[in-house]
Structure 1
Amino acid sequence: MNGMLEILGGKGMIDQAGIRMAQGESIAGERIAGVNDNMMKSHYHNYYEIYYLEDGERYHMMQDDMYDMKPGELILFSPYIMHRSYGENDMPFKRIVLYFESSEVASKELLDALDENNGMYRPDAATRQKLHRMLEELIRQYENPSDFYKSYRRTLLNMFLFTMLMHTRRREPEQMEETGRTTQIVSYIHSHYQEDITLEQLAQKFYVSQFYLCREFKRYTNSTVVQYVNVTRVMNAQRKLMETDKTITEISRETGFSNLTHFNRVFKSVTGTTPSGYRKHHQNMQCL
């Protein structure tokens, strides 16, 4: 089962590191150069992601925040954080991406710090050089693995994370006036996905017509409101399936689905498997 879920797919480069994670790796990274390789839809992973921009300029949408990324900056996504990356037409870029499972993180203290500090970082020149060298070394370990490469890459990963969190401050997201209302709607969905959410209700709450809401939401997220609500609910259901012993019926109810049949149908349409199949797969992976 692929660790990355993309909402309805989208144009973009082949994610070899993501493929390796889906095949059972716990740490995977790669460097890619491209142009006009944009994620048309938001997606999320069940593992962590570090995205380091070496050259060019990129925009990142993370949940309901927008970032304008410059070379030498990096962004952290925890599991189940919806995000997408895109750039201006014909703008070449080069980036390093690093994925890793929570099991590779040295301590609960560090895990908690990562989850509390999602977002973009702008390191100073000295820290940037350190972080960049560690990322390059992690990539080299796949091309020419050393005798102790699994332990070595885990050590490198944790040194990278400690350095990033201890010596780099997070950037504030961009304030983009033209997307302000849609940002508020996205934020509302993430906070109220457990409740009944309809187009009529959202239009009334945010003082817009249903037509305007649908048009602007689609332009900003490249997803319909219904699609976005469903994926947000499924994303939270996946976490509950992995992290709790609650029944599928309980999880269905807690994530805003009207009945179990509807939950099963939407879950499978989004993930490609049933809730019970997803939980069984996760349990089997834990035993490996």
Structure 2
Amino acid sequence: MLSYTILYEKEYLVEIGSPSDNLYYFFDYDERSYDINMEFQHFHHFYEMHILLDSEANHIIEGNLYGIKLYDIVCLKPTILHKSEYPEGPPRKRLIIQFNIPILADILREQFNQVMSIFEEEIPIYRFDTKEQEVLNNLLNDIFSISKAKSSLSTLFIHNKFTEFLCAIYKFRKENRYKPEDKSTTTSKIYSVASYIHNHFAEELSLDILASKFYLSNYYISHLFKEVTGFTLINYIQMTRTRNAQQLLLFTDTKITEIAEKCGFTSFSQFNRVFNKYCKTSPRKYRQQGHLDNNFQTIPTLFTRD
């Protein structure tokens, strides 16, 4: 039994800077429920951590479904596709932390990169025993208390405490006890298909190809995919390709025609039609808007909080 819980106040926000700044922090204490689960996986250009302050929920990362429990820490690197799923019943409390941290001295770069490797794990979810968890909870509670004190040095204090929090996770990483739970056979199979789509979206994908790949009938995969994920197979493929195209439009100078090809669209006209369908704008206008709005907060289907 933990002696220390994470301090919480519904709808409490701590904001330092903006997402386009080199130094940016956003702590969002709130709750979410089944009724407001987001529609599809999204991405950010900053780091994000999801800490569950309740009994259970799910997190989907690049098409893989992971069950999470109290105090599990989900570490999400920039541009990774993800979303939270909350079960039916009462709302679940959670803490979302979004951040950018600048490296002020080259001498620290190698060590900082080591610490940030916690976001690069194949399954970037952390679950610790009481001893380690209490250390982490205390650091988060220090940040909460500092934000309430309104000191003239609060930004520096929060920055230092959060850096210590990241270092503590890195220090404890070998004690990570998180292991994915076994899901039902049906759910497991369907999310295996979803994961495959995320890893092969640039290739030709169709109902026939995926059914053959996973030794499933066309009827089975088409009906159960919608039942488990909430999306038809074709819509899921299109949205995965569109999300990846969004990233290339915003964060690279790749020609739009090349982006269409890289993301698995058979023609530019198909790319333009599908992109308009989900983003309500053309790829060209989407890129232009992204360059005008460095916060990316007005761009459709991008800036979302779990």
Partner of 1:43: 41
Write out aligned runs for 1:1-288 (5 A): 26-33=24-31, 36-37=34-35, 39=37, 41-46=39-44, 47-101=46-100, 103=102, 107-116=112-121, 118-139=123-144, 144-168=149-173, 169=176, 171-176=178-183, 177-284=185-292
Q: Is the 8 A contact 1:29 1:138 kept in 2?
A: no
Structure 2 CA distance, aligned partners of 1:163 and 1:43? 29
TM-score, normalised relative to structure 2? 0.74
1:58 is aligned with what amino acid?
A: A
Q: Is the 8 A contact 1:65 1:183 kept in 2?
A: yes
1:128 is aligned with what amino acid?
A: Q
Structure 2 CA distance, aligned partners of 1:62 and 1:88? 17
Structure 2 CA distance, aligned partners of 1:118 and 1:84? 14
Q: Is the 8 A contact 1:17 1:99 kept in 2?
A: no
Structure 1 CA distance, aligned partners of 2:136 and 2:54? 15
Partner of 1:6: none
Task: Give structure 2 stretches of 5+ with no counterpart.
Answer: 1-9, 296-306
Structure 1 CA distance, aligned partners of 2:251 and 2:291? 10
Q: Which segment drifts farther, 20-29 or 131-140?
A: 20-29
Q: Is the 8 A contact 2:48 2:96 kept in 1?
A: yes
Task: Count residues in correspondence.
Answer: 274
Relative to 1, partners in 2 of residues 1:262 and 1:171: Cα closer, same or farther, differing over 3 Å? same
1:99 is aligned with what amino acid?
A: Q
Find the structure with the greater CA-based Rg.
2
For the residue of structure 1 that corresponds to 2:151, the secondary structure is: coil
C-alpha deviation, 1:138, in angstroms: 3.7
- Percent of residue pairs identical: 27
For the residue of structure 1 that corresponds to 2:95, the secondary structure is: strand
TM-score, normalised relative to structure 1? 0.78
Q: Is the 8 A contact 1:120 1:170 kept in 2?
A: no
Task: Give structure 1 stretches of 5+ with no counterpart.
Answer: 1-13
Deviations 1:214-236 (A, max 9, x none): 22111221122122112211222
Structure 1 CA distance, aligned partners of 2:153 and 2:276? 40
Structure 1 CA distance, aligned partners of 2:66 and 2:248? 29
